[in-house]
Amino acid sequence: MRKSLYALLILGVGMSAMAQNEQRHHHRRKPLEQMVTGQGYGLAGCGLGSIVFGPQPGMVQVVAATTNGTFYSQSFGITSGTSNCDIPRMGQQAAEFIQVNKEIVMKDAARGNGETINALADIFGCSDANVLGADMQKHFSTYFNPKNNSYEITRRLLKSLKTDAALKASCKSA
Amino acid sequence: MRFFTTIFILVTFVCTVAHSRSQPTALITPKSALVDKALKLQLDRDPTWLRLGHYHKRHTIWGGVYWQSDEVDSDFFVAPAGRENPKAELIATLRGFFNPQKRHLSHSRPAETVKCEFPARYFFLMSRLGERPHESDFSECADYVLFRDRVRARSVTVVFSSYYMGNPESVFGHTLMRLNQADPSPEHSELLDYGVNYAAQTTTANPFLYAWDGLFGGFRGEFASMHYYFKVREYNDFDSRDLWEYDLNLTPAEVAQIVRHVWELGFASFRYFYLTSNCSYQLLTALEAAAPRLQLTSQLPFWVIPADTIRAVYNTPGLVTKVRFRPSLLRQYQWRSALLNTNERSQLRRLTTEIRKHERHLARLQKYLPSVKDPNVMDAALDYIDARFGKKLFHKDATVSDLKQEFLVARSQLAIAQPLPKIPEANSAPHLGHGTFRWSIGRGASTLPSTHDGYTNLSVRFALHSEVDPTIGYPPRSDVEFMHIIGNIYDAQPHASASPRQNPDPEIEEVRLIEVQNLTPYNTDFPHWSWKFRVGGEQTHDTELCVRCFSGVTESAAGLTWVPDSISGLTVFVMFDGQLNVGEFLGGSASAQVGPLMGIRQEWSPRFVTEFEGLRFVELHSEDKILGSRFKFDTEYSPHHNFGLYVSGLWIDSPTAGGQAIEAGLRLFR
């Protein structure tokens, strides 16, 4: 009796270790883009359509996969009644990028340079990423107020591109 | 409503495209004669055609030979019998090119004409038929054109994502392909390029079903493309895996054909086999189909391990132009803190300590933070927050987000950061590693019960890397073994009449189906557990239960690893170990051992490693609780990265199974 109890104990330890591994793995198995996407996606309102507001307020879904099945949802630069249509195509790309890379974008912005700033400069057509980096660092709290979602951050960036002299000179107008 | 809007937009869009489309190029050969010409040229047996259809030669049990595609989705074939008949598929595809009717496809894919669905086939066939195809031939293919123009590929990079212990499907690593928008240069923002990934569409969370389906083709594998930054975020930041990037030297025509074929693969699905037809294998077949001069999959053994595919790519003369390293978030943190001076490092230590206590002492941290004026210290602290609390941040944990915001705002008041110097990293590049397949031959002597004599050892291991194998190309202290079969041939003893053995006696000593040992050092910055897991079968040496009986075994252990800074190459680990043996001789029951385990691993050099492991155990199956000890060591010296000399030993002290064994020989990798 004792023997089998011990055996069961060991088996239990082994199994729970496996199960724990499995849990983590189950949790991890969804690729990141799916985790960000959440359940379901649909035709986006605007531009690239990469970002769709989910059922709960504040929840943002990102559709990244461009397999043929989902390709349509991202294909059209249209304007319909959905919100965020004030943002041009370039901004939709930026908003998607910021949404997915938010933790790193914020860190690079606070530092004033970094790879994600280079990518944003690429999206905004800025010839000098350092100008954009310096601006994002200087106005960090304006851009990255915790209340701002990716769209709001993008909107403020686009505004700076139009109003700030240095940025205007360096970047294409949106 | 949304549905109708969609339809409306689709119709408008398609119409606009249809109006603006250019006139199709006039054919040189009449349409009706194209098929005859193709058959006369035997294009249905052309290796490129077969690769584009992912056809493979298969054998019936009667010795017959037939072709069958690995691809299983009917959308991928135009002819009804296209999967088994490359010729019928060729004829149907050629005819389909001139059919303006769109085909209805499954899985809610939009309908496409044959030409728009298979641009790579179109390009290949038309060029062979002397028709000079051009990209403008696809102007009516709105979806393909959109894909092509968004990807804007100029070159291709193969990316290896390093080994990751946290997840069974990534212990062997992973590969994907990146379609680069411009030639890689320091200014180019590769994050915005497209990555092409092949992965299993898993359908179960049950570990046993998962393993079964993964090994035996129960899952479907599909290609997907997404911005590369998704993958960087997932692997580099979220999993803290290093990425290695191999830029390929391909002609513009080959790159364009890869894009076309990747588009075709969006309509495909394959049966996914974890060990053979996996992510890395399908990536190579896609490359080979588009660039027929490449012979990559033929270099691989039956098992496909991602690092082996990287070596196949790297060893193809002239194919790889540059190897680049993209460090994980954790590496960046380690590198940043390594660059600090003593004073800065103590500031960082203070910060990381405060960060760990932030839940209780946020106010204290807020007061302290403005006094930190060194941007380098702040940058390291920020990386620490991301590396330590990345998952919490991802799930929008409020306290960690607030904490990070405090740091970010404080950091933004300081000077602009200097770009981080390049991390010197050469030793873990996968192309430098030893081959994953290993076999070994050795001579040994043993005094374990019933084996009082010499023996010859023969072992074979299908993958991947043990803790004493040359460490170049592998993560430090890693150990992942799959299908390791250890066999001994005991010497004949013609003179000893008492001995049962008159002839050489081969015996399977141990089978390790899987063994994973994760020795991540424990420190206050990152308090990681270490663990070990083994499942397989082994011979018992127990005189009470059974001498030389084969039993199933599973071993798990968990504990801590310590890597002292002062002694280079030393690793010490302590774990609690439990082992369970199951066999018929145990009368349907099981025997179990539990106890503390201690190990010492010394890496004298990347090619000379020794590991000792001692275990004090109590046998739980016995009524009088037998205490015993087991001590083993393994040391390997590799003058060349593909072979090594080893000495290993085993010493067991227990009332029911005592004895020693020592062995030495040669290990070869391929």
B193-216 pLDDT, tens digit each: 988 888 877 666 666 777 777 777
Contact B226 A66 (CB under 8 A): yes
Contact A14 B222 (CB under 8 A): no
The answer, yes or no, to whether the previous bond of B464 is cis (omega within 30 of 0) is yes
Domain-embedded: residue B647: yes
Domain-embedded: residue B426: no
Same domain, B545 and B502: yes
Which is nearest to B264 in space by CA: B123, B452, B459? Answer: B123
Q: State the nearest Cα–Cα gap between B598 and chain A, in angstroms.
A: 19
- Global confidence as pTM: 0.84
Same domain, B512 and B530: yes
Same domain, B375 and B398: yes
DSSP code string of B361-384: HHHHHHHHGGG---HHHHHHHHHH
Which is nearest to A73 in space by CA: A55, A57, A92, A50? Answer: A50
Same domain, B262 and B369: no
Q: State the nearest Cα–Cα gap between A153 and chain B, in angstroms.
A: 15
- Closest chain B residue to A18, measured at CA: B207
Phi, psi of B338 (to 5 degrees): -65, -25
Distance CA B89, CA B358 (A): 65
Same domain, B226 and B272: yes
Q: Residue B219 in contact with residue B201, Cβ under 8 Å?
A: yes
Residue A127 CB neighbour total at 10 angstroms: 12
- Judging contacts by C-beta atoms under 8 Å, the chain A residues touching residue B224 are 65-67
Q: Where are the beta strands (DSSP E) in B187-334?
A: 194-201, 219-227, 243-248, 270-272, 320-326
Per-residue confidence at A29, pLDDT binned at 50, 70, 90? very low
Q: Is the pLDDT confidence value at A82 over 70?
A: no
Contact A76 B13 (CB under 8 A): yes
Same domain, B508 and B601: yes
Q: Is the pLDDT confidence value at A63 over 60?
A: no
Q: Is the pLDDT confidence value at A13 over 80?
A: no
Same domain, B396 and B444: no
Contact A10 B620 (CB under 8 A): yes
> What confidence score (pLDDT) does residue B498 get?
52
Chain mean pLDDT for chain A: 63
- What is the interface pTM, i.e. ipTM, of the complex? 0.85
What stretches in chain B show pLDDT beneath 50? Answer: 1-24
H-helix or E-strand containing A37? helix A32-37
Final residue in a domain of this structure, among B412, B442, B472: B412
Q: Which of A15, A21, A75, A103 to mutate to test the interface with B (most CBs of B within 10 A)?
A: A103
Considering only CB atoms, A144 lies closest to which of B382, B407, B408, namely: B408
> What confidence score (pLDDT) does residue B188 get?
63
Same domain, B110 and B161: no
Distance CA B470, CA B481 (A): 14
What is the tens place of the pLDDT at every residue in A143-165? 999 999 888 899 999 999 999 99
Contact A141 B409 (CB under 8 A): yes
- Judging contacts by C-beta atoms under 8 Å, the chain B residues touching residue A3 are 589, 620-621
The total number of structural domains in chain B stands at 4
Q: State the nearest Cα–Cα gap between B250 and chain A, in angstroms.
A: 24
Q: Residue A75 in contact with residue B377, Cβ under 8 Å?
A: no
Q: What is the Cβ-side half-sphere exposure of residue B398, based on CA atoms within 13 angstroms?
A: 1
- Judging contacts by C-beta atoms under 8 Å, the chain B residues touching residue A44 are none
Contact B558 A110 (CB under 8 A): no
Q: Which of B411, B515, B593 to mutate to test the interface with A (most CBs of A within 10 A)?
A: B411
- Judging contacts by C-beta atoms under 8 Å, the chain A residues touching residue B407 are 110
Residue B338: both structure tokens together: 């390594």
> What confidence score (pLDDT) does residue B238 get?
80
> 3-state DSSP call for residue B96?
helix
Listed by start position, the domains of chain A span 89-170
What is the gyration radius of the CA atoms in chain A, in angstroms? 22
Q: State the nearest Cα–Cα gap between B274 and chain A, in angstroms.
A: 14
Q: Is the pLDDT confidence value at A35 over 60?
A: no
Domain-embedded: residue B423: no
> What confidence score (pLDDT) does residue A90 get?
76
CA B314 vs. chain centroid, Å, equals 16
Terminal C-alpha separation, chain B: 60
- Closest chain A residue to B400, measured at CA: A103
Same domain, B464 and B531: yes
Same domain, B310 and B229: yes
Q: State the nearest Cα–Cα gap between B543 and chain A, in angstroms.
A: 18
> What confidence score (pLDDT) does residue B495 get?
61
Considering only CB atoms, B192 lies closest to which of A10, A32, A119, namely: A119
Domain-embedded: residue B371: yes
- Closest chain A residue to B231, measured at CA: A32
Q: Which of B104, B109, B191, B196 to mutate to test the interface with A (most CBs of A within 10 A)?
A: B191
Show the domain range for B437.
Answer: 433-669
- From the number of C-beta atoms within 10 Å of its C-beta (0-12, 13-18, 19+), residue B634 rates as buried
Per-residue confidence at A84, pLDDT binned at 50, 70, 90? low
- Closest chain A residue to B235, measured at CA: A32
What is the tens place of the pLDDT at every residue in A97-125? 898 889 999 999 999 999 999 999 988 98
Contact B199 A31 (CB under 8 A): yes
> What confidence score (pLDDT) does residue B642 get?
87
